Structure 1
Amino acid sequence: MTYLLFLLSIGLATALALVIKQLQQRKNDYAIAQERLKEADKRLQEADRKYGGLISREDTARELDTKITVLTNRLKQLDKQSQVEEQELSTKISVLRAKLKGLEEQEIVEAFGFYESKYDFQEAEEYKQRLDKIRAQQKQMIKDKQAAVCHTEWSVGGSAKEGKKMTDNFLKLVLRAFNGECDASVVKVKYNNVQTMENRIRKTYDDLNKLSQTTHCEITSRYLDLKLQELWLTHEYQERKYQEQEEQRIIREQMREEEKALRELEKARQDAEKEERRYQEALEKARRDVESATGKAQEKLLSQIEELQKRLAEAEANKERAISQAQLTKSGHVYIISNIGSFGEDVYKIGMTRRLEPMDRVKELGDASVPFPFDVHAMIFCENAPELEARLHKRFNSRRMNKENERKEFFRVSLDEIVRVVREIDQELKICKSEVTFTKIAEATDYRKTLARERQDKVATAI
């Protein structure tokens, strides 16, 4: 596209240069004619002065008047021709400018990937089935000789049969050229060039039909329409297939997250059971020993028994917590985090995790994919974490940073608004296990230290 704009710009500049050159030539011709008129008048005066009555002044004047008339007519003719040519060139320049403007607008549209969907199938398989049907219709049109037709029965050497053979061969050649260009366009089509590929097919159709006018042959508009449908369907099929792959990727990621959370809960339960057994055994031993102990030894054992009882109660609570959380499949944490060093102010990620230690998930998100770690503004434990997350995403859907991929859970919204909406949802559903608290200020330690160091470096460089 940029190359085409470059060529059109060159054509526009060349046309302008040609107009200037021709106008300059007309000016030069006019100046020459004026010089000749002056020279003729000078000769007349010189002849009159030199020869006096020897030469007929009337004849000389008549001769010079004739020359002046011829030159004057020539000047008028040149001036008229110049005006006509100037008008033609001006028209060509206007056409070139209009084309250039259209292509610039088209390039802007395509740069934004604008494309209005022409189909509304829900699954990629439906696009594929329609695509197969369109291609079958194309093959049938070629088989029925309706893809390209000839409106005149030609004869070669007086033979209608040879004329039909010639026509069939010509139509095959035209269709081969058209199909080749269409196939190349379909293969290359993607979200940001679908309009260009459509224009390419239409232009090929027009060019081939113009070349075929002398033989009264043409590619039919119905066949063109099927080719355009193939292009649009291919594009939308690819887009829908990509969306389905993204949806499957989200599901697989959620499944991996669920499996990881369950493994963590199971491990936590097993560890809690081990701790429980260990403290239980230690407690039983201490109780046996205290019966035979006296004095300070007995007091020490009683103190140990009290500590062991506390530890045993904690281990039992941890085990119950792990068991209950594993049984409550929807319980988990909804986190609100930011990364001002990476994304700027008022950009928050709203996500969910069922990990027993939710901060592990936050640490994973702040790995090598971003330059700074995330700051946690809220870690909300609730009985139905997916519902709270889904409602927050729905409320802030118009504020998404990435409106094409909903997997990217970043929103441009103020923290105050997030706080208000979370409390509204909790008031309605009563799903948060405890009072929700928010940290309003992002610590952003690494980012702020980086800024301080950059300021120091600038001062040192200035000194």
Structure 2
Amino acid sequence: METDQILIASTFITFTLLLLVFIYKYFRESGRHRAVALELVNKSELAEKALTIGRQLLVEKKDLTARLTTIEARFQPVLDLDKEAASLQAQVKAFQSNIDELKASYAEKKLVYDRLIKEVAIFDEKIAFAEMGVYEPHFEFSDSEEYKTAIALTRDVQKRMVTDKTAVICTTQWTLEGSVAKGQTMTNRNIRLSLRAFNNECDAAIANIRWNNANAMEKRIINAQEQIDKLNASNRIFISPDYIKLKLKELYLTHEYREKVKAERDERAEAARLLRDEQKLIRDLEKAQEEEGRYQRLLAKAQAEADSIAGPRLDAFTDQIKILERDLAAAHARVERAQAMAEKTRSGYVYIISNVGSFGDDVVKIGLTRRLDPADRVRELGDASVPFIFDTHAIIYSDDAPALEYALHNEFEAVRVNAQNYRKEFFRASLEEVEAAVKRLAPDAPFFKDVEAQDYRETLARRHQALMAADTIQSTALPDQI
């Protein structure tokens, strides 16, 4: 019995313990399930949010994909940078190669161009003077006759060389069809042909030589010799260097002879002008002497009449005598000055003049005249050869006028307008500079810086007035036209 009770009690206790364990596990599992449920709820909310974000991202992805596609299409040529860089490098190399080829081609063609320019310059006078430069004289003969004699001697030497067969030479003895005689005949004919061609070129150059192509004609003769020798190279026929020198010497002599003739012609013209001035001085002296004699006769007559007159008329004769004495003194002074200038060939006047209307500002002429009235020379220079008359700034009398003129010319040699013809005495200098030079060389000489230029300024005024009138007419006509 007790055993059953103990068994029942142990069973009950065991059941109770099992129940308690079950209840404990239940409640524990229930709490866990609630936590899991809460977690699931939270995860569900997160999943919905993630789904929403995913949808948004998907839309943005589509939009970005579309924009990327547009950008790729737009920048497709430069997407592959390496490929593009390689392409550019290849293009640069190709351009560089083309540039190198162009440079080489340009250098080659420039050489050809320069050679052709030099060859053309030999025959084109306009190019010749610019390309060949100024001719430098080779001889210093005093007159043209010496040049003529030298030309004749040079031609005689040339004829002797042709006669002696030393003008054109052949360095090889040829045979033709096995015959030395036929070979010599062939050589002689080629020599005569070469000599005729070369002489014709030289004669043409010498005949056409002028001041602006002298160096070009020299090149023409040398070029002819080179071309003929080149054509005869296979025949071993050459023009003798001595013969070439003689032809060039004849060319130089002929050119300088012609220039000397021109200079002598200018010198003769200048000498004739000086002679005319001297003759005019003599005429001025004779005129002054005649005028002095006339005043002497008039004064003697007046004095004789005054001796026989008394009273009021005597006072009138006295005044007339004083006037005649004054005029006689002036005439006597002119006689003395004319006589001094006629006797002294180096005395004269140095004049300094300008012509703004004809030559512009800061251009002066410094010249010399031996005329009794130097203003005559200034008026003569302002004749029909220039559009306006000259303004006179200084007229300086000197016992050695050529020396004073030479000194003034030296002062402004660097600014001489015509550096080739020294008879053209114009200089590009301001009046202040010329005045300073005059004060150094002739301190007592008066100098006037005023530039009147009356005709020139009146011409400008007339043109301005005409333009103003034309503008006025046009402005008044416009309203009527409208």
Normalising to structure 2: TM-score of the pair?
Answer: 0.69
SS, match of residue 117 in structure 1: coil
Tell me: CA distance 1:381–1:225, structure 2 relative to 1, closer, same or farther (3 Å).
closer
Following the alignment from structure 1 to structure 2, what is the Cα–Cα distance between the partners of residues 318 and 306?
18
Establish whether residue 437 from structure 1 lines up as the match of residue 446 from structure 2: yes
Aligned to 1:357: 373
Following the alignment from structure 2 to structure 1, what is the Cα–Cα distance between the partners of residues 405 and 109?
59
The structural deviation recorded for 1:377 is 1.3
211-220 or 116-125, which deviates more:
116-125
Q: Tell me if structure 2 keeps the 8 A contact 1:336–1:376.
A: yes
Q: Tell me if structure 2 keeps the 8 A contact 1:336–1:378.
A: yes
Q: How does 1:189-208 map to 2 (within 5 A)?
A: 189-208=209-228
Kindly provide the CA deviation profile for residues 411-431 of structure 1, in whole angstroms up to 9, marking residues without a partner as x. Answer: 21222222222232235xxxx
The gaps in structure 1 that reach 5 residues or longer are 1-84, 291-297, 428-434
In the alignment, which of 337, 340, 348 is matched to residue 353 of structure 2? 337
In the alignment, which of 426, 450, 471 is matched to residue 410 of structure 1? 426
Q: How does 1:164-183 map to 2 (within 5 A)?
A: 164-183=184-203
Tell me: CA distance 1:88–1:146, structure 2 relative to 1, closer, same or farther (3 Å).
farther
Following the alignment from structure 2 to structure 1, what is the Cα–Cα distance between the partners of residues 372 and 166?
68
SS, match of residue 308 in structure 2: helix
Kindly provide the CA deviation profile for residues 18-44 of structure 1, in whole angstroms up to 9, marking residues without a partner as x. Answer: xxxxxxxxxxxxxxxxxxxxxxxxxxx
Following the alignment from structure 2 to structure 1, what is the Cα–Cα distance between the partners of residues 466 and 337?
54
Aligned to 2:321: 308
The structural deviation recorded for 1:92 is 5.5
Following the alignment from structure 1 to structure 2, what is the Cα–Cα distance between the partners of residues 325 and 393?
27
Counterpart of 1:332, as a letter, is G
The structural deviation recorded for 1:405 is 1.3
224-233 or 349-358, which deviates more:
349-358
Following the alignment from structure 1 to structure 2, what is the Cα–Cα distance between the partners of residues 86 and 407?
53
Following the alignment from structure 1 to structure 2, what is the Cα–Cα distance between the partners of residues 207 and 324?
70
Q: How many residues are matched?
A: 365
Following the alignment from structure 1 to structure 2, what is the Cα–Cα distance between the partners of residues 313 and 95?
83
In the alignment, which of 164, 173, 178 is matched to residue 153 of structure 1? 173
In the alignment, which of 375, 384, 406 is matched to residue 391 of structure 2? 375
Q: Tell me if structure 2 keeps the 8 A contact 1:334–1:380.
A: yes
Counterpart of 1:404, as a letter, is Q
Q: Larger radius of gyration, structure 1 or 2?
A: 2
Normalising to structure 1: TM-score of the pair?
Answer: 0.72
199-208 or 155-164, which deviates more:
155-164
- Structure 1 vs Structure 2 CA RMSD: 2.7
In the alignment, which of 430, 451, 457 is matched to residue 448 of structure 1? 457
The gaps in structure 2 that reach 5 residues or longer are 1-100, 475-482
In the alignment, which of 269, 273, 276 is matched to residue 289 of structure 2? 269
In the alignment, which of 151, 172, 177 is matched to residue 131 of structure 1? 151
In the alignment, which of 408, 415, 431 is matched to residue 392 of structure 1? 408
Tell me: CA distance 1:108–1:162, structure 2 relative to 1, closer, same or farther (3 Å).
closer
Following the alignment from structure 1 to structure 2, what is the Cα–Cα distance between the partners of residues 383 and 411?
24
SS, match of residue 289 in structure 1: coil
Tell me: CA distance 1:416–1:157, structure 2 relative to 1, closer, same or farther (3 Å).
same
Q: How does 1:21-36 map to 2 (within 5 A)?
A: none
SS, match of residue 442 in structure 2: helix
The structural deviation recorded for 1:153 is 1.8
Following the alignment from structure 2 to structure 1, what is the Cα–Cα distance between the partners of residues 278 and 103?
75
